[in-house]
Amino acid sequence: MALSAATATATATVTMSRLLTGTVKPSTFKPFTLTLRRTAFRRAISTKITAAISVGDKLPDATLSYFDAADELQTVTISDLTKNKKAILFAVPGAFTPTCSQKHVPGFVEKAGELRSKGVDSIACISVNDAFVMKAWKKDLGVGDDSDVLLLSDGNGEFTKAIGCELDLSDKPVGLGVRSRRYAMLVEDGVVKVLNLEEGGAFTSSGADDMLKVL
């Protein structure tokens, strides 16, 4: 039977009670609760929406932000990332969320060299989080300042809304508000050549390996 986010939380609470009373071993607690958290999160953000952007479209310009190695706030535009370049832009629903932290971003960091070898000039992760959160997430993920993957803040959702990829989670118990739908796109000179758009919290077609297949 599928677990709702509320049921998952209640079950985790019961498990904690059993842990404290000694009826469950600590070694079995962590994997169980992590599984519950990932499952509950995916269900909590499950929804279907349609993007305004499609293959063949020119990307709208927008300004994104990040902290550089000197801890100075910097900005970069979509045009900077894509004009006269082959770029991969991928988006996540939120920093520090399970799938984004454990699979999506690490996959691109790991495969960045292979993507570069196939002619990709820039790789950027975009999230509707403020630049401070993205800075902390980058550190938590162990992504170095010399990494080929940029973690960029679309804090007000300007770019995300412009391409019609906003994901309204305001009615969900996780408290994310309006975020970005998960996707990965291949862009050449500002034009979308490939767009792998996920539904809700799914992660089936927007990973680094998926993009390697289309290069």
Q: Residue 164 is part of a domain; what is its CATH number?
A: 3.40.30.10
CA-to-CA separations, 83 to 16, 41, 75, 125, 146, in angstroms, rounded: 52, 36, 16, 17, 22
Residue 46: inside a domain, yes or no?
no
Residue 152: inside a domain, yes or no?
yes
Active site residue: 62, 78, 87, 100, which one?
A: 100
Q: What is the pLDDT of residue 174?
A: 79
Looking only at the bridges linking them, the beta strands covering 63-67 and 73-77 are antiparallel
Q: Distance (Å, rounded) from C-alpha 159 to C-alpha 10? A: 37
Q: What is the pLDDT of residue 13?
A: 39
Domain membership of residue 146 as a residue range: 57-213
CA-to-CA separations, 214 to 119, 167, 184, in angstroms, rounded: 12, 26, 11
Instruction: Using alpha carbons, select from 195, 197, 167, 202 the residue that is nearest to residue 87.
Output: 195
CA 136 and chain centroid, separation: 15
Query: Cβ(215)–Cβ(120) under 8 Å?
Result: yes
Q: What is the pLDDT of residue 12?
A: 39
Each residue's pLDDT expressed in tens, for the chain with a length of 215 residues? 444 444 444 443 333 344 334 444 444 434 434 444 554 444 444 445 456 899 999 999 999 999 999 999 999 999 999 999 999 999 999 999 999 999 999 999 999 999 999 999 999 999 999 999 999 999 999 999 999 999 999 999 999 999 999 999 898 887 889 999 999 999 999 999 999 999 877 999 999 999 999 99
| Cα dihedral across residues 89, 90, 91, 95: positive or negative | negative
Residue 35: inside a domain, yes or no?
no
Known active-site residue 100: yes
Residue 134: inside a domain, yes or no?
yes
The 3-state secondary structure of 7-26, one letter per residue: HHHHHHHHHHHHHHHCCCCH
Residue 112: inside a domain, yes or no?
yes
Query: Cβ(108)–Cβ(125) under 8 Å?
Result: yes
pTM over 0.85: no
Residues 6+ apart with CB under 8 A from 49: 165, 166, 167, 168, 181, 199
Residue 26: inside a domain, yes or no?
no
How many folded domains does the chain comprise?
Answer: 1
Query: Cβ(75)–Cβ(65) under 8 Å?
Result: yes
Residue 149: inside a domain, yes or no?
yes
